């Protein structure tokens, strides 16, 4: 006789990308996600941020503060914060990344 399979409810996963320094849009999106997903599912959701937190909009610091506060405000959620190309460019501009090594083009490739 086969054992009954345990039924587990699939976890809600939300992906958010391209915030670009717009705190009001992020706050509105966050509220809409909670309302759409439902409060109980939202409390335990996996939220994956796809990067590009800065650049363009005026509120990069507020966006970063909002994101940093999420694990303490939503301790039952899981959060993944990926780095986008705008974030890397901003970090490089601030001098937070090491300088790239000198690259020499091989003479064999010069005419290509």
The verdict on whether 86 is a catalytic residue reads yes
Q: Given the residues 19, 23, 63, 86, select the one marked as catalytic.
A: 86
Write out the chain in H/E/C secondary structure.
Answer: CCCCCCCCCCCCEEEECCCCCCHHHHHHHHHHHHHHHCHHHHHCCEEEECCCCCCCCCCHHHHHHHHHHHHHHCCCCEEEECCCHHHHHHHHHCCCCCCCCCCCCCHHHCCC
Residue 53, number of CB atoms within 10 A of its CB: 27
Instruction: Report, as residue numbers or ranges, the catalytic residues.
Output: 86
């Amino acid at each position: 006789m086969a054992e009954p399979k345990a039924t587990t409810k699939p976890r809600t996963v939300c992906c958010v990308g391209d915030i670009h320094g717009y705190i009001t849009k992020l706050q509105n999106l966050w509220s809409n996600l909670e309302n759409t997903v439902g409060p109980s599912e939202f409390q335990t959701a996996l939220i994956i941020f796809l990067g590009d937190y800065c650049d363009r909009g005026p509120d990069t610091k507020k966006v970063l503060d909002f994101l940093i506060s999420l694990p303490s405000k939503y301790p039952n959620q899981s959060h993944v914060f990926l780095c986008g190309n705008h974030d890397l460019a901003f970090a490089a501009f601030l001098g937070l990344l090491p300088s790239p090594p000198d690259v020499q083009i091989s003479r064999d490739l010069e005419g290509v």
